Amino acid sequence: LQKLIHLLQATDDPLIQEQALITLSNSAAFSVNQDIIRSLDGLSVIGGMLSDCVPKVKEKALNALNNLSMNIKNQEKIQVYIPQVCRIVESAPLNSDLQLAGLRLLTNMSVTNDYHQKMINSIPCLLHLLSEGTERTQIQVLKVLVNLSANPAITRPLLRAQV
């Protein structure tokens, strides 16, 4: 895991970055690896890949963060990327794998009320995706919206959102 994280930092080759991110994502299926990746500062390295200009690299980074977000301690670190993930979801091509990867991460990060405030500004975008997206996109958006709607503090922003 340490070598993969160092490889991500050392290379500019998008194909190598994609493969390293896929391997880290698969490794994150095991809780012990989630802790190891966090302790090696892997979350910030992977989070840094969200700024990459290659959409596939961003998508693989989102997938890795999504798997890593199944851990509460990791969520505390990943939450700093929520505004950036929201921007990615808003700017990604409609129904793209990149957009869906961002929505999946937002779904996991919205399971508890802890980070809902960071998603409020994206409610209009989510509602737009609900009306314009394909069924796959709509289902993922609904998961986020259901999680947000469980928080009474989000009721007003949900009802006031301009679509």
CATH of the domain at 55: 1.25.10.10
Identify whether residues 130 and 108 lie together within a single domain.
yes
Identify whether residues 99 and 67 lie together within a single domain.
no
Identify whether residues 10 and 74 lie together within a single domain.
yes
Identify whether residues 9 and 34 lie together within a single domain.
yes
What's the pLDDT at 115?
Answer: 97
Q: Where among 79, 96, 121 does a domain terminate?
A: 79
Identify whether residues 67 and 107 lie together within a single domain.
no
CB of 144 closer than 8 Å to CB of 107: yes
Identify whether residues 5 and 75 lie together within a single domain.
yes
Identify whether residues 65 and 88 lie together within a single domain.
no
Over the chain (163 residues), what is each successive 10-residue block's mean pLDDT? Answer: 96 97 96 97 97 96 97 97 98 98 98 96 96 97 97 92 81
CB of 37 closer than 8 Å to CB of 69: no
What's the pLDDT at 23?
Answer: 97
Identify whether residues 100 and 32 lie together within a single domain.
no
Identify whether residues 11 and 60 lie together within a single domain.
yes
Q: Which of 94, 121, 1, 162 is nearest to 106 (CA)?
A: 121
Residue 153: half-sphere exposure toward Cβ, Cα within 13 Å: 9
Mark out the alpha helices in the chain (DSSP H runs): 2-10, 14-27, 31-39, 42-48, 55-68, 72-78, 82-91, 97-109, 123-132, 135-149, 155-160
Identify whether residues 67 and 141 lie together within a single domain.
no
Q: Where among 49, 79, 109 does a domain terminate?
A: 79
Q: Which of 94, 114, 28, 99 is nearest to 58 (CA)?
A: 99
Q: Where among 79, 113, 147 does a domain terminate?
A: 79
Cα gap 58→134, rounded to integer Å: 21
- CB burial string 136-158: b at 16+ within 10 A, e below: ebeebbbbbbebbeebeebeebe
Identify whether residues 97 and 55 lie together within a single domain.
no
Overall number of domains in the chain: 2
Identify whether residues 4 and 66 lie together within a single domain.
yes
Terminal Cα distance for the chain, rounded: 43
- Domain residues for the domain of 84 are 80-162
